[in-house]
Structure 1
Amino acid sequence: MTTPFPLLRLPRLALLPVFQQMASIDVIAFSLISKKARNLSKIFRKLSASSVNVTVESDHLYICVEFEMWRQMGLKYYFYTESAPQLVNAMFQKITFTQENSGLSASKWLERILDVTNCESIKHLDLKESPLVDVCDTFGKLKNIRKLYIFKNCPNSFAKKALEIVSPVTREIILFKIPFETREEFQTFLKSNLNYLNIHTSTFPTFKFTLEDLMVTNALKLNLNDGKLNVKEINQFFKNWMENKCDPRLEHLELSTSEDVDENNLLGGLKTVSFSRDREKTFRYSKPLDSPSHSFSGGYDIWRADRKKATITFGDVWGMTFISFYAWP
């Protein structure tokens, strides 16, 4: 009969070399045993994650912790809603958890890993499906999420709840579906002081982002390369901006169209001043988004009634015309 080793009863001086010899994956697994184990892990082995990715599936949560950016050394952990299948691989046993074998709910399990790895931000939060476990309590405690992905199989109810909770702390929201049943509900979301909204809806041919949607959106940066606005609507937006009819928060707008674009139909009716393609400008965002700044060459300047300036650029790539709009501070 094997007698369990009383690790938690060792004096602190004896614990220090033990923790220093433990692999990171074992330190995290040990911290899940109890609150005391978590505290000891944080005291004797200070882990510092460079990034953490979290994926929500229907039957499990997946978290990948990376400690060294230049080596991309990732530790993967899974939390299953039911008892995991019999696992022969000893390493896989260390990274697979349930409430039964960890004594923690999915939400508490996720919080414990983020705590012991001293994670200050989530790199990617991927919502692929609705979980059978409640993780929204943990979402409410996250302080910084670089990118939130809403995938097409994520149910509307779960996607909307997650957006409501984490939108204020997310740098970029990437939508592969529109989880709102009505245009009014969608526009309420568009007005909610977003940072960077990136819409990819090519897989939903019935969805049409309208000029009215664009007029009410107050995101700092908006990517509508799949938004299906036509050149006439884009030109009307520029005119509305010059007449101070758009939300003032917008700093950078990205659009694309398969229509033929030239100065006459895109800039018609606008008073513009062009500048040379040899001249480079750097636009800096007011908040940290996907990047602190963006550089470009050439373009056309327009002015609003209050003398605020914006720059419009456009160019063809693979049969599509990509248009950018920058509103200078």
Structure 2
Amino acid sequence: MTTTFPLLRLPYLVFMPVLEQMEFLDRIAFSIFSKRTRKYLKLLKMKSKNVNLKWNGNRIDMIVFCDFTRVLEVNMYTCKYQRSTFMNQYKPVYSWRDSSLLPADYVLSIMDVMHCKSIDKFIFVKISEHDCIPIVAKLPKIDEVVVEHDWPDVTSYEASFQKERQLLRVLRTVLPVSSAVFIKYQFQNRNHLREILKGNFDAVILKHFDNRITLNDLWITNAKILEIYTVKLDVRHLNRYFKLWRKKICNDRLEYLEVRIYDKPSMDLLLDGLNAVPVPIETKREFRVLGNVKQFFL
């Protein structure tokens, strides 16, 4: 008969060296057992460079980096089995099922023991079939939300619209704790897109974007950094937006704007009435930035 070793009953001066000898993955697994074990593991001062989350249907992937090296990957399933696996490139997989914990509980526990205050990127690839609001509602500050969405099984506009409404419910929960949003998804309903554009974000990036961007879309933007990569933008609307912005009629928070139109726009229409002065492309200028704006490299 095997007797369980009372590890937590060891004196502090003995217990801490035992923790220091543990492999990294063993420490993470041990920290999830209870608040008490997590408190001891935090004393080791393990620190992560950043944490990424990826939501792909019924699975959430958490990736932890230290000094740009992936040190931990956690796959959490939101289906009825709620299975979770923990792994890194040097150790075999830890896997268990605990229906009493949500994926967010694992995320928060690991972030706590790794002294990580915010999630670097939260990436949506595919919406879950299950209600995910209780999960995302627990998440801490998010530096950037990335909306990639891939729905190959959606065959009608009605089905796509319902999925989009599910997505928007999740975004309404996570975007208030996010600094930036990076959108690749092509919204079927323009009002859903506009609800995001008018948020008070540090940065809004629309990349590889096929939705037509209109003057009304530009008018309601409220980001400090706005980047648009599109083929569907009337340069007359962009010209009008520049004029309104210069008069401080719209988006007085805007500090950086980049627009890439994958076409050959008329420069005469774009610059009409702006009194623009051409300068060589090699020219370097310094601009005063108001507030604390983080540059997002994508």
Q: TM-score normalised to the size of structure 2?
A: 0.81
User: Which has the larger displacement, 271-280 or 22-31?
Assistant: 271-280
- Give ranges in structure 2 of 5+ residues lacking alignment: 152-162
Q: Distance in 1 between matches of 2:3 and 2:113?
A: 28
Aligned-pair identity in percent equals 28
The equivalent residue for 1:53 is: 52
1:214 CA drift (Å)? 0.5
Q: Distance in 1 between matches of 2:118 and 2:65?
A: 12
Residues 111-137 of structure 1, C-alpha deviations (whole Å, 9 max, x = no match): 211111111121111122233666545
- Closer/same/farther in 2, CA of residues 47 and 230 from structure 1, 3 Å limit: same
**In structure 1, which of residues 110, 128, 135 is the aligned counterpart of residue 125 of structure 2?**
128
In structure 2, which of residues 65, 76, 79 is the aligned counterpart of residue 79 of structure 1?
76
Match of 1:151 in 2: 148
Q: Does structure 1 residue 217 correspond to structure 2 residue 221?
A: yes
Tell me, yes or no, if the aligned pair for 1:171 and 1:289 is still in contact at 8 Å.
no
Q: Which residue, 83, 99, 104 being the options, matches 2:101?
A: 104
- Aligned residue number for residue 318 of structure 1: none
| CA–CA distance in structure 2, aligned partners of residues 97 and 226 of structure 1 | 45
| 1:197 equivalent among 204, 209, 217 | 204
Structure 1 distance, partners of 2:262, 2:121, is 31
TM-score w.r.t. the length of structure 1 is: 0.74
Give the aligned length. 281
Give the distance between the partners of 1:174 and 1:278, measured in 2 at CA: 29
**Displacement of 1:68:** 2.3
Alignment of 1:5 with 2:43, yes or no, is no
Q: Which stretches of structure 1, 4 residues or more, deviate above 6 A after TM superposition?
A: none
1:312-327 → structure 2 map (5 Å cutoff) = none
Match of 2:159 in 1: none
CA drift at 1:17: 0.8
Change (3 A) 1:30 1:51: same
Q: Gaps spanning 5+ residues in structure 1: where?
A: 293-329
User: What is the correspondence of 1:136-175 to structure 2 with a 5 Å cutoff?
Assistant: 136-137=133-134, 139-153=136-150, 155-175=163-183
Partner Cα distance (1:111, 1:25) in 2? 16
Contact kept in structure 2, 1:150 and 1:177, CA below 8 Å: yes
CA distance in 2, matches of 1:42, 1:196: 33
Deviates more, 1:214-223 or 1:275-284: 275-284
CA contact (8 A) 1:28 1:113 kept: yes
What's the RMSD between the two structures over aligned residues?
A: 3.1
Does residue 287 in structure 1 map to residue 292 in structure 2? yes
Question: Is the 1:145–1:170 contact (alpha carbons within 8 Å) kept by the matching residues of 2?
Answer: yes
Higher gyration radius (CA): 1
Per the alignment, in what secondary structure is the counterpart of residue 240 of structure 2?
Answer: helix
Distance in structure 1 (CA, Å) of the matches to 2:178 and 2:213: 22
Match of 1:307 in 2: none
- Match in the other structure for 1:18: 18
Provide the rounded CA distance (Å) in 2 between the counterparts of 1:219 and 1:141.
25
3-state SS, counterpart of residue 128 of structure 1: strand
- Alignment check: 8 A CA contact 1:57 1:128 kept: yes
Give the letter for the 2:66 counterpart.
F
TM-fit CA distance, 1:98: 2.9
